[in-house]
């Protein structure tokens, strides 16, 4: 039988499928089912520093304004889903570590440098096997340069690396002038892996009420193409693990991720759409595909279609832009 094992963040994983951050990972039962279905690691939903601070300030205001009111208890949020600070998040890490034997990767999105470091240390103390730094930031200040943002990202990683010992993965978006450069700099700052790419959710306009509406659409396999390109470019040039997230739905998607050079393929939308049991079907299809094409292991195929391995490396660069436009024109004229 073909060996499906891989390595990521220093862990040997039985399969290349990792559950990326999603509401599914909030439930201990769901994570147990994921492990049984063959998912080899889970990334927990991100802990957002500003949400913690805002909720803490809100409760302080409620207490100060209602402490002498007989009905003060009505001010309190529903405590079944409410936690002050990271306590509930840390308890969830504890519970998962006692329930599953796959790596549990905490996820953090901070605001202040002190907040990034504080919560990273708490997650390590809670038993997280690794930490994914979710560098999700929408910059609207016209006086803040791209180089300043990149320098801040590197400073965050460098500071956290100096304070925690567990592996660090950095999840970034695709909107950098030079993705290879920022990945290299993050690696030099202490990142053990690059997770490509974050999906930036865009609000929609509600025309009747003229309000902004949060819009969430599950990914499709089409979104994988951007990730494949950059994984193939990074492989062999940056000495760090590469994880692909976004657009992973089928066994063929996972094969493409491995051929591009990724060590793991992260999925969420497929599990939300088809259920956790979908992972077992995908792994069965993956096993059959590898046997059909006579691969002995995942490791054997990794990076086989990266920019450093394919005969026509220009396919990943500017020359391919001209060829694609030319082929579309020819097809349309027939």
287 Cβ contact list (under 8 Å, min separation 6): 1, 2, 4
- What pTM does this model have? 0.87
Mean pLDDT of 45-73: 53
Q: What does CATH list as the number for 6-303? A: 3.20.20.70
Parallel/antiparallel/unpaired status of strands 130-134 and 241-245: unpaired
pLDDT of residue 141: 92
**pLDDT tens-digit series, residues 261-285:** 999 999 999 999 999 999 999 999 9
pLDDT score for 64: 46
Domain boundaries, the chain: 6-303, 310-334
Closest CA to 199 of 158, 245, 167: 245
Q: Is the pLDDT of residue 131 over 70?
A: yes
What are the tens digits of pLDDT across the range 293-304? 999 999 999 999
Please count the other Cβ atoms lying within 10 Å of the Cβ belonging to residue 85.
15
Handedness of CA 78, 82, 87, 92 (dihedral sign): positive
E strand or H helix that includes residue 196: strand 193-196
Q: Which helix (H) or strand (E) holds 285?
A: helix 278-292
CA angle at 246 for the pair 244 and 249, rounded to the nearest 5°: 100
Residue whose C-alpha is closest to residue 310's, from 319, 267, 115, 111: 319
Centre a 10 Å sphere on the Cβ of residue 59 and count the other Cβ atoms it contains: 15
């Amino acid at each position: 039988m073909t060996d499906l094992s891989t390595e990521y963040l220093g862990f040997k994983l039985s399969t290349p499928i990792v559950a990326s951050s999603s509401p599914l990972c909030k439930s201990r039962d769901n994570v147990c089912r994921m492990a049984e279905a063959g998912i080899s690691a889970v990334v927990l939903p991100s802990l957002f520093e500003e949400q913690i601070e805002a909720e803490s300030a809100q409760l302080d205001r409620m207490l100060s304004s209602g402490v002498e009111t007989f009905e003060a208890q009505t001010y309190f949020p529903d405590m079944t889903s409410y936690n002050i600070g990271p306590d509930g998040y840390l308890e969830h890490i504890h519970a998962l570590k006692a329930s599953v034997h796959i790596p549990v990767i905490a996820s953090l999105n901070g605001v202040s440098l002190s907040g990034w470091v504080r919560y990273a240390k708490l997650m390590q103390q809670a038993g997280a096997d690794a930490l994914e730094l979710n560098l999700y930031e929408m910059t609207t200040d016209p006086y803040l340069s791209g180089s300043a943002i990149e320098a801040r990202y590197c400073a965050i990683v460098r500071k956290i690396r100096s304070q925690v010992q567990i592996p660090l993965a950095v999840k970034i978006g695709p909107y950098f002038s030079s993705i290879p450069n920022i990945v290299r700099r993050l690696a030099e700052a202490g990142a053990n892996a690059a997770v490509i790419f974050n999906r930036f959710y865009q609000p929609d306009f509600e025309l009747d009420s003229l309000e902004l509406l949060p819009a969430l659409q599950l990914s499709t396999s089409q979104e994988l193409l951007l990730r494949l390109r950059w994984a193939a470019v990074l492989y062999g040039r940056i000495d760090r693990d590469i994880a692909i997230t976004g657009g992973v739905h089928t066994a063929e998607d996972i094969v493409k991720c491995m051929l591009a050079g990724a060590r793991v393929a992260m999925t969420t939308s497929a599990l939300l759409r088809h259920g956790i049991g979908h992972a077992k079907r995908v792994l069965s299809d993956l096993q059959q595909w590898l046997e059909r094409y006579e691969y002995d292991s995942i490791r054997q195929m990794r990076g086989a279609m990266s920019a450093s391995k394919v005969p026509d490396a220009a396919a990943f660069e500017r020359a391919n832009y001209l060829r694609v436009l030319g082929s579309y024109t020819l097809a349309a004229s027939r």
